[in-house]
Each structure stands twice: as C-alpha cells, then as structure tokens.
Amino acid sequence: MKKPVIGYLYNGRGLGRDEELFKRVAKKKNVETIFINTDKWADSDDLREQVKGCDIVYNSSGDDFLIEIEKTIEEFGKKMIDCSKAYYYTEDKWMFFLKCREHNIPTPKTILLSEDIAEAKKDLEKFGFWPVVLKRIDGTMGEFVDRAETLLGAERVIRKFWKKGKERTPIIAQEFIHSPSYRVTLIGKKIVQTAMKNNKGWKATGVYAKRIKRFPVDKELKMLTDKIMKFVDINVCGIDFLKKGEDWFALEANSAPAFDFFECEREKLAGMLVDLLKEKARK
Ligand SMILES: Nc1ncnc2c1ncn2[C@@H]1O[C@H](COP(=O)(O)OP(=O)(O)O)[C@@H](O)[C@H]1O
Ligand SMILES: [Mg+2]
C-alpha cells in the first residue's frame, strides 16, 4: 500500500515544536508529511504544486489569514481537516449559541447587537444582564472578549473592538457566568483531554491561564459533549464550557485547539492526530 501523505499548514518562522513532534510521530507511523509554510505563500501555482501529492491537508492554526489559503486548497479539490465551513459557521460564536439553543444545550444567554451604537445600547438595556460579556463573533485567545459593568462601559468596549479590529465586526452580548474555563479536547469526536483553566482575572484563556489542571468528565458533560458533536463538524476540536454549581454551560467550539496544556500528553495527542488524518486520507 502507498504511504499516506499528509500536508501540514503552519505559519511562523521555521518548524515549531508542534511541527517537529508531528513529523517524528508521523514518521514512526509510516506517514509522510509535507510542511507548507503559509507565510511564504505567494502564488497559487506554487501552492497547487505543494499540495499536489497530498492525500489530505491539516490546518494546524486558527489564524484568520489562513482561511483564504485553506479555501484555495479546497478549491484544488483537496480534503482539508478541518474544513473552512467550520470557521464561518461552527466557530462563529453567535451561530454556536443558536445551535446550542436549538439542541437544548445550556449556554449563557446571548444577544446579537445592532451595528448602530444607539440601537446596540437599547438592546443591552433590554437584555439587562450586568455585568455583561461582550465579544466579537470571531477571534481567539480572549483578544476580543471583554466585560462591562455599565451601559457606558459597554459602549466603550464596543467602540474599542470596532477601532481595533476590522470595520464593525458583529458583536454579541452575553450573560456573565463566574467560572473557570473548562476545555474539552476531542479528536475524531472522542474526548482525548480535559483542561481546567483558572486565572486571577475573570477571563481564563489559552495556555496563558495561570493554573491548568485536568478535570473529570461527569455523566452530564459527556452527554452534552455527545450532543454538541452532532452539530459541530470539527474533527480536531476544543470545546469551552463554564460551570455554575453543578450545571455546565457550553461557550464555544474551536478547530485546531492547543495540544500543549500538559507536556506529558503532547506526544499522545500528536499520535491520535496522525491516526485520524491517516484514516481520513484513506476515505
Ligand atoms: N459569558 C461568560 N461568562 C464568564 N466568562 C466568560 C464568558 N465568556 C467568555 N468568558 C471568559 O473569556 C474566555 C474567552 O472567551 P471565549 O468565548 O472562549 O473566546 P475566545 O475565542 O477568545 O477563546 C473564556 O475562556 C472565559 O474564561
Ligand atoms: Mg475560548
């Protein structure tokens, strides 16, 4: 049988630790890897040439920029893990809220704000949850997530987001739930890791969180995760939850989640990723 070939999209200068680990594990599993640095990408013919021999291409980054490259590769007829559609729909925080509501999965109460600031303020007054969490429908690592105590504070946050980011990206307002952040990592719809992120401040995000430890998956969380994975079309997925008392609240789903919460589990996760890509490449 022909050796499977996996394309691996990454950005940054040279291969990082994740890439080196992937390369080593893939080699052990008799898989060839072609690394494609998306920073160096200039011409679509070059890209076509690079992915030509790949059976499947993995996008290792949640970077907004990469999405165009991902779509280009899909246009060439190559299978991508995960697909660009997930970025626009599943990872969109407003869509995730709507899906959770439709499937009876507890999630913080959320509204989509008007792009007219005066209307947005009316929306917030009617919503009536203070403090309120404001976030852009996209964005990662808490960059476009903030909290406001008052209407004036909320207006400041909205203006800040609009000034900092692209022109008037949609913003949602969300009920604040005091809780650490609970990350469930899934590969091929199977839970492979849990990480509770705690921080001094209210926002516990990414690997910057001060204290990270594992937590057990209780029956309720397992049931919710199974339900969520019915509408989340992400193969390599990180779902964030919050917890109030004994109740779980689903917050968002991410593709290409971090594998580096626990150093000792990194290689195991990389192995599972290679196995998944191998299996998908065959189909
Ligand atoms: N409604 C909320 N209540 C309390 N904390 C929240 C809420 N929404 C977000 N957070 C905190 O902010 C962090 C980042 O928010 P999240 O929606 O996961 O966006 P990002 O895509 O930037 O990770 C979460 O991990 C959590 O700690
Ligand atoms: Mg998050």
Same domain, 145 and 216: no
List C-alpha distances in Å: 229 to 105, 176, 257: 12, 24, 15
Q: Which segment of 4-8, 66-70, 265-269 scores lowest on mean pLDDT?
A: 66-70
Among 147, 175, 203, the domain boundary falls at: 175
Residue 56 lies in a domain: yes
**Region of residue 30 (phi > 0: left; psi between -120 and 50: alpha; otherwise: beta):** left
**Least confident piece of the model among 15-24, 57-66, 140-149, 203-212:** 203-212
- Grouping H, G, I as helix, E, B as strand and the rest as coil, residue 280 is helix
The verdict on residue 248 lying in a domain is yes
Residue 139 lies in a domain: yes
Whether 226 is in a domain gets the answer yes
Return the ligand 1 atom nearest residue 251 CA.
17
pLDDT band at 204 (very low <50, low <70, confident <90, very high): confident
Domain holding 248, by residue range, is: 88-92+178-264
Q: Is residue 32 part of a domain?
A: yes
Q: What is the pLDDT of residues 142-159, one digit of tens each?
A: 889 999 999 999 999 999
Mean pLDDT of 29-46: 87
Q: With 80 as the cut, is the pLDDT of residue 166 above it?
A: no
207 has pLDDT over 60: no
CA atoms within 13 A on the CB side of 77: 3
Q: What number is the average pLDDT over the span 30-38?
A: 94
Q: Is 91 in the pocket of ligand 1 (CB under 6 A)?
A: no
Residue at 99 is within a domain? no
DSSP strand E in 96-189: where? 110-112, 132-136, 145-148, 171-175, 181-187
pLDDT at 195: 96
Ligand 1 in contact with 47 (CB < 6 A)? no
Q: CATH no. for residue 55?
A: 3.40.50.20
Residues 183 and 153 in one domain: no
**How many angstroms separate the alpha carbon of residue 275 from the centre of ligand 1?**
31
Any ligand 1 atom below 6 A from CB of 135 = yes
Q: Which CATH number characterizes residue 235's domain?
A: 3.30.470.20
Minimum-distance ligand 1 atom for the alpha carbon of 141:
22
| 279 domain-assigned | no
Same domain assignment for residues 159 and 118: yes
Q: How confident is the model at residue 215 (pLDDT cuts 50, 70, 90)?
A: very high
pLDDT in tens, 120-136: 999 999 999 999 999 99
The number of folded domains in the chain is: 3
